[in-house]
Amino acid sequence: MKNKTRILATPLFLMGFVVLFMNSCTVSKPVQKTVVIPPAAAKPSNTVTDIEGNVYRTVSIGSQLWMAENLKTTKYNDGTPIPLVSENSSWANLTTPGYCFYDNDASINKTTYGALYNWYTVSTNKLCPRGWHVPADAEWTSLTNYLGGERAAGGKLKESGISHWVTPNDGAINSSGFTALPGGYRQEEGGFVNINDDDFWWSTTTSTTQITKAWSRGVNYNYPYVYNDFYLKSFGFSVRCIIN
C-alpha cells in the first residue's frame, strides 16, 4: 500500500509543477487604454453677421476692429426694413432714410460692393449689427493716423491690383487688410457714378458749418491718399462698421 501511494503521488506532483511553471511563463499583455483627445479650443470669431444673415470679415487695425467689407443689409438691426429708393427723382428729394445698390442692380453689385445709403439712414444708429456702429469722423481720423496719415493711408486701405480698381490703382498694397473696393456712389440728384474708380464711406459726424452735409472718407484709383470732406446728406455712400 505504501509503494502504491508514492507512485500515485508522483504524477500528481509533476502535473502541479507543470501547471505552475506554465502560468509563471505566461506573458501578460499590456492594458489597452482609451486615449481621450480634448476638443479643440474655440477660436475667436473673425466675422460678424448682420440681421439678414450677411456675413462680413473683420480686421483689427491698431486698437480698432473694423468690418473688412462694405455693409449690404436692407434692414435695420431691429429687423425693420430700410426704404429702397430706385427712382432718381425720389432719391433727390429724400430727407429721410433710403438705400439702393449701384445702378439698382443687386444681382451684380451687392455681394462685392455692398449697398449705398444716404446719411439719414446712418443717423438712425440702427444700421450696423448690434454692438457695432458707423464710425464718427474722429474714428476715421484715428484709422488714417495709425496708417501714416491721409497722404499715405489710401494705398494701405485699397485692395491691391486691378481686379476691381481701374489702373493704375496708385499705391494700393492693402497692408491694413481693410480691402477697400471701388463701389462708386450715388449723387444727390440720383445718378450713379464712378464704380471701379472711387469708394466713399459715411461718418456719423455732421458739418458744423453746413448742417445739410456730413463728413466722409474716400479713396480713388489714381491716388494713394484718403479724401476727407463733407457732402450733402442725400448722397448715397458705402458704410463700414466699427465695433463699440
Q: What is the pLDDT of residue 31?
A: 45
**Domain-embedded: residue 40:** no
**Domain-embedded: residue 8:** no
Q: Across-strand partners of 242?
A: 66, 133
53-83 per-residue burial string, b: 16 or more CB within 10 A, e: under 16: ebebebeebeeebbbbbbbbbbebbeeeebe
Q: What is the pLDDT of residue 244?
A: 74
Q: What is the pLDDT of residue 134?
A: 98
**Domain-embedded: residue 215:** yes
Burial category of 33 from C-beta neighbours within 10 Å (exposed 0-12, middle 13-18, buried 19 and up): exposed
Give residue 77's identity as a one-letter amino acid code. N
Q: Across-strand partners of 117?
A: 99, 237
Q: How many CB atoms lie within 10 A of CB 243?
A: 15
**Domain-embedded: residue 20:** no
pTM of the predicted model as reported, rounded to 2 decimal places: 0.81
Q: What is the pLDDT of residue 161?
A: 97
Could you give the angle at which helices 137-146 and 150-157 cross, rounded to 10 degrees? 80
**Domain-embedded: residue 3:** no
Residue indicated by cell numbers 470732406: 229
Which residues 6+ apart lie within 8 Å of 133 measured at CB? 125, 204, 241, 242, 243, 244
**Domain-embedded: residue 11:** no
Q: Give average pLDDT by consecutive 10-residue segment, the chain, 244 residues.
A: 41 41 44 40 69 98 98 98 97 96 98 98 98 98 98 98 97 98 98 98 96 97 97 98 91
Domain with 219 in it: 47-243
Mapped onto helix, strand or coil, the DSSP state of residue 45 is coil
**Domain-embedded: residue 4:** no
The number of distinct structural domains making up the chain is 1
The Cα-based distances of 96 to 84, 167, 197 in angstroms read 11, 37, 28
User: Alpha helix (H) ranges present in 81-189?
Assistant: 88-92, 106-113, 119-122, 137-146, 150-157
**Domain-embedded: residue 147:** yes
